[in-house]
Amino acid sequence: MKTPIVAAIRCSLILLVPALAYGGSAQWDLNPISGDWNTADNWTPMTVPDGPGDVATFDLSNTTYVSISANTEINTINFTSAATNPYTITSPGLTLTLSGVGITNNSAIAQNFVAAFAGGYEGEILFTNTSTAGDATIFNEAGSTSFFNSSTAGSATIWTDFGFVYFFDNSTAGSAFIGVTDGSWLQFGDSSTAGNASIASTGFIGFSEFSSSDSATVSSGGDTLFYGSSTGGTVQIELMFTSLGYGGILDISAHNTPGISIGSIEGDEDTFVVLGANNLTVGSSSLSTTFSGVIEDGGLGGSLTKIGRGTLALTGTNTYVGNTSVDSGVLQVDGSITSDTFINRLGTLAGNGTVNGNVTNHRAARVSPGDGLGSPGALTITRNYEQMPGGTLVIQIGGANVGEFSVLDVQENANLNGYLAPVLVNGFVPEIGQSFTFMNYEAFTGFFSHITNQPFDHGRKRWLLAYNATSAVLFVVRNGR
């Protein structure tokens, strides 16, 4: 037979079990006595969520500005569907660590976090283990946000003003947006990645050790640096000239040899790519872009390789002195390069600019003066041009006047072989007797082995090729003569 005392004790124990299981997890009150995270009276039950297994839940409340007053660690910060007023949770000169799930937001609005400088100390928000920033909006006000282990920035929006964003270990920026202002730094180290993030910066972006920019999109009016053994993946980099009065810089000069590969590069005038002695391989994303700035190497022999299906148009005065290789896609030189240039299988050299060096057109490669089909132009080579067996010179002909048909201007020797491909564009059909001086040179050796499209205009006309001492000319004659 149970005595009343024993029964009472057992009932008390039953009531205590849920509270003990709940640990330090708690829900922020509807009417807390203050905005201090670390005051137990602000939570139900009356305990401060501060432990690696704790969950802090935020529902509807009349106080949504919350600030930690001591270094705090939490497993999960959960915003319920009833959290219809946006919260701002601040770490002022202290450290808020999310070490479990991270931030989950089931409300329909953005929830805000701030790492602020206060009391002479930098505020920090740390994500560790496999935690996520979710879709939070994070502001670094002279503070920092860091990701460790295998944590992720998720789809968060992160702004940093005179602050820092760090990625360490195997963490990733996920699909976040990261804004970096002048005087701020975004750093990827260890084996971290930029994931699919969108990054806008007028400050500094660094990729070191074995980190990767992966498939991120970077718009920078500041410095973007690759060093160590970092990799570029298919990152899309746009360099901008900003209202601050300076242009963006992509610097790979401190990277380990031989260099890096990136998805694409584009840029305004007064932007720079600094190679040092390294090679920059561009085009793995197969996008078509225009770079109007300067690619330079300080005379150290830096080089450029074009890959992918897209077109890279260079419209600036580029000064790197190492080789240029066009392995696939189109390199369109509308400004100038100071480089011996090799067009390899599936590659095309085009443009209206100047190559200050030798050009070699290999088998199954093409040289095509002008800016794409329908835009004939004149391409200048200041040294020698060599076209190998199987190489092709494409000449667009859209009229009989200067500028309406393509011209390859070789200022030294032309060593010829392979194919000549006249291509009629813009609806133009030349008359019998018209001629087109499509190539100039100081001297030549060899001959084109074949003219493609030789009969044209329904077989009524054909091309006749003549080699003069310093030029090559296409004549239109009646077919059959």
Closest-CA residue to 366 (of 338, 345, 340, 385): 345
474 phi and psi angles, rounded to 5 deg: -100, 125
Question: What tokens were used for 147?
Answer: 């990701």
Mean pLDDT across 198-207: 97
Do the Cβ atoms of 116 and 138 come closer than 8 Å? no
Contacts of 178 (CB under 8 A, 6+ apart): 153, 158, 160, 165, 186, 197, 198, 199, 200, 201
13 phi and psi angles, rounded to 5 deg: -65, -40
Query: What one-letter code names the amino acid at 266?
Result: E
Query: What one-letter code names the amino acid at 349?
Result: L
The pLDDT score that the predictor gives to residue 240 is 96
Question: Which structural domain range is residue 415 located in?
Answer: 323-481
Q: Quick check: 6 pLDDT over 90?
A: no
The pLDDT score that the predictor gives to residue 15 is 34
Task: Give the three-class secondary structure for 229.
Answer: coil
The pLDDT score that the predictor gives to residue 168 is 98
431 DSSP assignment? P
> How many Cα atoms occupy the beta-carbon half-sphere of 397 within 13 Å?
25
For the residues of 286-310, what is the DSSP string, one character each? ---EEE-SEEE-TTS--EEEE-SSS
Cis peptide before 422 (omega within 30 of 0): no
The pLDDT score that the predictor gives to residue 243 is 82
Query: What one-letter code names the amino acid at 13?
Result: L
The pLDDT score that the predictor gives to residue 467 is 98
Q: Is 117 within a domain?
A: no
Do the Cβ atoms of 308 and 283 come closer than 8 Å? yes
Mean pLDDT across 320-327: 98
Question: What tokens were used for 164?
Answer: 């820092």
The pLDDT score that the predictor gives to residue 7 is 36
* CA 203 – CA 133 distance, rounded (Å): 22
How many domains are contained in the chain? 1
Percentage of the chain lying above the pLDDT 70 cut = 95
* CA 82 – CA 63 distance, rounded (Å): 14
Indicate the average pLDDT of the chain: 94
The pLDDT score that the predictor gives to residue 481 is 55
Mean pLDDT across 239-247: 89
Residue 462's beta-bridge partner residues? 455, 477
What is the 3 state secondary structure string of 251-282? Answer: ECCCECCCEEEECEEEECCCCEEECCCCEEEE
Mean pLDDT across 422-447: 97
Q: Is 51 within a domain?
A: no
Sequence-ordered strand ranges (E) for 93-239: 95-105, 112-116, 124-127, 137-141, 144-147, 157-161, 164-167, 177-180, 185-188, 198-201, 204-207, 217-220, 223-226, 236-239
Mean pLDDT across 3-12: 35
Q: Is 125 within a domain?
A: no
105 phi and psi angles, rounded to 5 deg: -130, 105
Q: Is 433 within a domain?
A: yes
Do the Cβ atoms of 59 and 28 come closer than 8 Å? yes
Q: Quick check: 454 pLDDT over 50?
A: yes
Do the Cβ atoms of 74 and 97 come closer than 8 Å? yes
Query: What one-letter code names the amino acid at 276?
Result: G
Mean pLDDT across 83-98: 97
Closest-CA residue to 452 (of 420, 478, 416, 405): 420
Q: Quick check: 1 pLDDT over 90?
A: no
What is the 3 state secondary structure string of 63-114? Answer: CCEEECCCCEEEEEEEECCCCCCCCEEEEECCEEEEEEEEEEECCCCCCEEE
Residue 446, H or E segment: strand 443-446
Q: Which residue has the tokens 């964003």?
A: 165
Question: What tokens were used for 185?
Answer: 């730094």
> How many Cα atoms occupy the beta-carbon half-sphere of 409 within 13 Å?
13
Question: What tokens were used for 225?
Answer: 């640096």
Q: Is 243 within a domain?
A: no
Q: Is 332 within a domain?
A: yes
Query: What one-letter code names the amino acid at 368?
Result: S
The pLDDT score that the predictor gives to residue 180 is 97
Length of the chain: 481
The pLDDT score that the predictor gives to residue 307 is 98
Residue 255's beta-bridge partner residues? 228
The pLDDT score that the predictor gives to residue 244 is 78
The pLDDT score that the predictor gives to residue 328 is 97
Question: What tokens were used for 409?
Answer: 């201007």
* CA 207 – CA 253 distance, rounded (Å): 13
The pLDDT score that the predictor gives to residue 23 is 38
Instruction: Give the tens place of pLDDT for each residue, 275-289.
Output: 999 999 999 999 999
Q: Is 282 within a domain?
A: no
Cα angle, residue 391 at apex, residues 442 and 478 outer, rounded to 5°: 80
Mean pLDDT across 382-405: 97
Residue 15, H or E segment: helix 4-22
The pLDDT score that the predictor gives to residue 215 is 98
Q: Is 410 within a domain?
A: yes
* CA 352 – CA 339 distance, rounded (Å): 16
Q: Regarding predicted confidence, which is higher, 217 or 481?
A: 217
